[in-house]
Amino acid sequence: MSDFFTPWRRKMGVVTLIVALPLMGMWVRSYVVEDKLAITIGDVRYAIGSVQGCVVRDRWLDKTHSGGIGYSSEWRDLNRPARLPPPYYRAPPGSPLGQVEFESKAVPYWPFVVPLSLLSACLLLSQPRTRSNPQNVVKPAATEGT
């Protein structure tokens, strides 16, 4: 069993698998639970969350002048349609949101999870190359006088 992890490919396969599995867990969880972490600095509130298979980053103007960090986690009602923002959204001033400047960006999980999983499978399941035995290598004969 110890020979299984001696090539560097197997070690890198385990590392990519260790990265891919938590990302996959967060991807699946995001369809059932909406998580959001927010921090307010001055008038601007930044938030990052996991919603409907995407990592969502929000930034908006907050006139409450409150500072601090907040975390929310809520179970999504599966009978209600998803409220996923578009991949990039910026509400202009004077929009229905009022004079609030709001910006949101969503990035799906799958472009990270799928390649990492495939790379991990390739590295773990590939056959290691056999080393050539240096004793069987034929050395060229040295010629005299050159």
Residue 141 lies in a domain: no
Co-location of 41 and 92 in the same domain:
yes
Residue 142 CA from chain centroid, whole number: 58
Determine, yes or no, domain membership for 145.
no
Give the pLDDT score at 105.
Answer: 85
81 and 16 share one domain = no
Strand spans (E) along the chain: 33-41, 44-51, 54-61, 68-75, 88-91, 102-108
Does the pLDDT value for residue 90 go beyond 70?
Answer: no
Do 36 and 103 fall into the same domain?
A: yes
pTM (2 d.p.): 0.63
Query: Which residues neighbour 46 within 8 Å (Cβ) at sequence distance 6 or greater?
Result: 38, 39, 40, 57, 58, 59
Q: pLDDT digit string (tens) for 35-85?
A: 889 888 877 888 899 988 889 888 887 666 667 788 788 887 766 666 655
Q: Are residues 72 and 115 in the same domain?
A: no
| 136 within domain boundaries | no
Task: Find the mean pLDDT for residues 101-114.
Answer: 86
Instruction: Judge if 114 and 68 occupy the same domain.
Output: no
**Position 55, amino acid:** V
Amino acid residing at 144: E
Query: Is there a single domain that holds both residue 36 and residue 99?
Result: yes
- Alpha carbons 45 and 20: distance in angstroms, whole number: 30
> Do 11 and 78 sit in the same domain of this protein?
no
DSSP for 81-110 reads PP-PPPSEEEEPTTBTTBS--EEEEEEESH
Residues 25 and 54 in one domain: no
* Residue-level length of the chain: 146
Band the pLDDT of 92: cuts 50, 70, 90.
Answer: low
Residue 142 has pLDDT above 80, yes or no: no
Q: Is the pLDDT of residue 110 over 70?
A: yes
Beta bridge partners of 55: 50, 107
Quote helix, strand, coil % in the chain, to nearest 5.
30, 30, 40
Q: Which domain holds residue 45?
A: 31-108
Same domain, 15 and 73: no
Q: Assess whether 25 and 41 both reside in one domain.
A: no
Question: Is 117 found in the same domain as 101?
Answer: no
